[in-house]
Chains A and B, each alone.
With several copies, the nearest count.
Chain A
Amino acid sequence: MGCEITTKERAGVINPMYDCQPAGAQFAGIGIKDSIPLVHGGQGCCMFVRLLFAQHFKENFDIASTSLHEDSAVFGGHKRIQDGVMVLAQRYPDLRVIPLITTCSTEVIGDDIEGNIAQCNAALKEAFPGRKIHIVPVHTPSFKGSQVGGYSECLLSVIKTIATHKGAPNGKLNLFPGWVNPGDVMLLKRYMREMDVDATVFMDTEDFDSPMMPDKSIHTHGRTTVEDIAGAANAIGSLALARYEGGTSAQYLQTEFEVPNTQLNSPYGIANTDAMLQAVSRITGKPIPESLVRERGIAIDALQDLAHMFFAGKRVALFGHPDLVIGLAQFCLEVELKPVLLLLGDDNSKYKKDPRILDLKAKADWDMEVVCNADLWELEKRVKNPDYQIDLILGHSKGRYVAIEHNIPMVRVGFPTFDRAGLYRKPTMGYQGAMDLGESIANTLFAHMEFNKDREWLLNTW
Chain B
Amino acid sequence: MPMVLLECDKDIPERERHIYLKVDGEDTRDFLPISNAPTIPGTLSERGCSFCGAKLVIGGVLKDTIQMIHGPIGCAYDTWHTKRYPTDNGHFNLKYVWSTDMKESHIVFGGEKRLEKSMHEAFDEMPDIKRMIVYTTCPTALIGDDIRAVAKRVMGDRPDVDIFTCECPGFAGVSQSKGHHVLNIGWVNEKVGTVEPEITSKYTINFIGDYNIGGDTQLLQKYWDKLGIQVIAHFTGNANYDDLRGMHRAQLNVVNCARSAGYIANELKKRYGIPRLDIDSWGFNYMAEGIRKVCTFFGIEEKGEALIAEEYAKWKPQLDWYKERLKGTKMAIWTGGPRLWHWTKSVEDDLGVQVVAMSSKFGHQEDFEKVIARGQSGTYYIDDGNELEFFEIIGLVKPDVIFTGPRVGELVKKLHIPYINGHAYHNGPYMGFEGFVNLARDMYNAVHNPLLTLAATDIRGTTAATSLEAAE
Contact = CB atoms under 8 A, between A and B. Distances in A.
Interface of A: 10-16, 18-23, 36, 38, 41-45, 47-55, 58-60, 62-70, 72-73, 80-81, 83-88, 90-91, 103-105, 108-109, 141-144, 146, 210, 212-218, 220, 243, 262-265, 270-272, 274-275, 277-279, 287-288, 292-293, 296-297, 300-301, 303-305, 307-309, 312-313, 333-336, 347, 355-356, 377, 381, 397-398, 401, 405, 418, 455, 457-458, 460-462
A274 B98 contact: no
B74 A68 contact: no
B31 interface: no
Interface string B30-53: 000000001111111111111110
Nearest to B138: A105
Interface string B252-292: 00000000000000000000000000000000000000000
Given A68-B171, A457-B86, A11 B49 contact: no
B186 interface: no
29 contacts: A10-B118, A11-B121, A13-B118, A15-B80, A15-B97, A42-B170, A45-B74, A48-B79, A52-B78, A60-B408, A67-B38, A69-B38, A69-B174, A104-B102, A105-B169, A105-B171, A144-B103, A212-B414, A263-B472, A264-B470, A265-B468, A265-B469, A304-B455, A307-B449, A347-B103, A401-B95, A457-B94, A460-B83, A461-B83
Given A210-B414, A212-B413, A307-B449, 7 more contacts: A51-B407, A90-B11, A91-B42, A91-B388, A296-B459, A355-B470, A405-B95
B171 A59 contact: no
Contacts of A335: 450-451
Contact of B142 (A73, A304, A308): A73
B122 A300 contact: no
A64 B42 contact: yes
Contacts of A377: 125
B454 to A, nearest CB: 5
Contact of B466 (A84, A108, A218, A275): A275
Contacts of A458: 84, 427
Contacts, number: 354
A292 B459 CA distance: 10
Contacts of A67: 38-41, 45, 47, 174
B469 A262 contact: yes
Contacts of B445: 307-308, 312-313, 336
A323 to B, nearest CB: 11
B457 A14 contact: no
Contacts of A460: 81-84, 94
Given A11-B117, A64-B43, A214 B457 contact: yes
B442 A308 contact: yes
B297 interface: no
A109 B142 contact: yes
A355 B469 CA distance: 11
Given A42-B49, A70-B171, A105-B138, A146 B455 contact: no
The 10 nearest A-B residue pairs measured at CB: A12-B118, A20-B74, A44-B49, A42-B170, A84-B41, A48-B78, A84-B42, A54-B407, A142-B72, A87-B42
A87 B40 CA distance: 8
A65 B388 contact: no
A349 to B, nearest CB: 13
B173 interface: yes
A51 B406 contact: yes
B171 A461 contact: no
Interface of B: 8, 11-12, 38-52, 68, 71-84, 86, 91, 94-104, 106-107, 114, 117-119, 121-122, 125, 137-139, 142-143, 169-175, 387-388, 405-408, 410-411, 413-416, 418, 421, 424, 426-427, 441-442, 445-446, 449-452, 454-460, 464, 466-472
Given A59-B410, A270-B466, A85 B42 contact: yes
A274 B82 CA distance: 37
Given A48-B82, A274-B457, A461-B83, A42 B387 contact: no
A377 B99 CA distance: 12
B311 to A, nearest CB: 22
Contact of A50 (B137, B407, B418, B424): B407
A104 B138 contact: yes
A141 B44 CA distance: 22
Contact of A11 (B40, B100, B426, B471): B100
Contact of A87 (B43, B122, B138): B43
B406 A54 contact: yes
B407 A274 contact: no
A41 B387 contact: no
Interface centre among B50, B98, B173, B459 (most CB of A within 10 A): B459
Contact of A308 (B114, B446, B460): B446
Given A11-B118, A143-B139, A336-B445, A72 B460 contact: no
Nearest to B81: A460
B451 A300 contact: yes
Contacts of A22: 74
A43 B39 contact: yes
Contacts of B415: 216
B52 A334 contact: no
B470 A274 contact: no
Interface centre among A48, A87, A141, A398 (most CB of B within 10 A): A48
Given A67-B38, A304-B449, A460-B83, A43 B74 contact: no
Nearest to A89: B42
A291 B166 CA distance: 53
A278 B457 CA distance: 13
Given A23-B74, A105-B139, A216 B414 contact: yes
A12 B99 contact: yes
Contacts of A220: 414
Interface centre among B42, B98, B169, B468 (most CB of A within 10 A): B42
Nearest to B105: A143
Interface centre among B38, B91, B117, B171 (most CB of A within 10 A): B171
A66 B94 CA distance: 30
B78 A461 contact: no
Contacts of A105: 138-139, 142, 169-171
Contact of B52 (A44, A401, A405): A44
B74 A214 contact: no
A19 B170 contact: no
Contacts of B77: 16, 18-20, 23, 398
Contact of B171 (A11, A69, A462): A69
A13 B42 contact: no
B355 to A, nearest CB: 19
B406 A301 contact: no
Contacts of B51: 42, 44
Nearest to B471: A355
Interface centre among B96, B408, B460 (most CB of A within 10 A): B460
A221 to B, nearest CB: 12
A398 B408 contact: no
B98 A83 contact: no
B199 to A, nearest CB: 32
A293 B460 contact: yes
B322 to A, nearest CB: 12
Contacts of B80: 15, 398
B7 to A, nearest CB: 11
